[in-house]
Amino acid sequence: MRGRYDEITGRGAEVVAIGTGSVRHAAAFVADEHIHFPVLVDDDARAARAASVRRVGFFKLLTDRRSRAGAKRARADGHRIHKAGRRVTQLGATFVIGPGDQVRYEHLDDHSADHAPLDEVLAVLPTIAAD
């Protein structure tokens, strides 16, 4: 997402990330990773619940081969976790919302290494511009 941020804003869209953890950890993430979009903190899971973001059992999180393989790839690519926050069993999700109150795209991660294909997400944006 970060690598294509200029393309996203060039299409008239914005990126907003929501994570678990504290404001301090969000600030460190923004500074260390040179993030240019808003990063918000949802430490009490109000937003995750409203968005119906999935959770996974702790045992499955540790034993799912897909999750372990994803973690290995992430480490090999140099990614590191600043702070997991209080809800390590919460999975990720990606939505395209707006303009206005309309959900254009939804991907609820199925396991910890599952992510919305970025090309699929970006493909929604020209459709919005043409509406």
* Interface residue list for other proteins (CB under 8 A): 1, 8, 12-21, 23, 25-30, 32-33, 38-42, 46-48, 50-53, 79-85, 88, 90-101, 103-104, 106, 112, 121, 124-125, 128
Shortest approach of other proteins to residue 45 CB, angstroms?
10
Shortest approach of other proteins to residue 66 CB, angstroms?
14
Shortest approach of other proteins to residue 3 CB, angstroms?
13
Q: 71-99: string of b/e by CB count within 10 Å (b at 16+)?
A: eeeeeeeeeeeeeebebeebbbbbbbeee
Pick the closer one to other proteins by CB: 65 or 131.
131
> Are 81 and 65 contacting, i.e. CB atoms less than 8 angstroms apart?
no
Strands 103-108 and 39-41: unpaired
